[in-house]
Amino acid sequence: MIRSATVHDIPEIRTMIRELAAYERAVEQARATEEQLREALFGAHPAAFALIAEDDGTGQAVGYALWFPRFSTWTGTRGMHLEDLYVRPAARGGGHGRALLASLAALCRRHGYDRFEWWVLDWNEPAIGFYKSLGAEFLDEWKVCRLSGGPLEELAAQAPAGDA
């Protein structure tokens, strides 16, 4: 079963975020607190949204998808960025990942989103194979860019005075 996350899911979502980070070999980078997640998902101005995959027999959360809207200047329309897709190892192969992605695709259609995009680590062959089986297009010509920490602070210090 796939359902929208509720505020009561925050502890389980945080646990699964840390499980995903451990799988991606970056657990030390998963620093989001329950309070931050509560504000991001259920605050006055949500920054993101989440779906929960539950085991049909036990009702236990076995996975989640966390997403937020994007905007394309080329198409003039919104799209969806999938930040996290995670299914616990014991539940993999049970169709939960496909059900989460199908639910997200249905949300895209319902909201009129033209694009549904996400990133995958280049070494994550099981995920890459799964995404290929769905017909996902891989945009190899694009590189992800990130500024954080010191470089972000240094660039911000160069901003001209104004309203921005």
CATH number of residue 61's parent domain: 3.40.630.30
Q: How far is CA 81 from CA 49, 72, 154, in A?
A: 11, 11, 28
164 pLDDT exceeds 80? no
Q: Is residue 164 part of a domain?
A: no
Instruction: Provide the 10 A C-beta neighbour count for residue 64.
Output: 25
Distance CA 156, CA 60 (A): 44
**Any catalytic annotation for residue 131?**
yes
Residue-wise pLDDT tens digits, 91-144: 999 999 999 999 999 999 999 999 999 999 999 999 999 999 999 999 999 989
Number of domains in the chain: 1
> Which tens digits make up the pLDDT trace of 34-87?
999 999 999 999 999 999 999 988 999 999 999 999 999 999 999 999 999 999
Say what the pTM is.
0.92
> Tokens standing for 20?
């995903």
Selecting among 64, 86, 113, 131, the annotated active-site residue is: 131
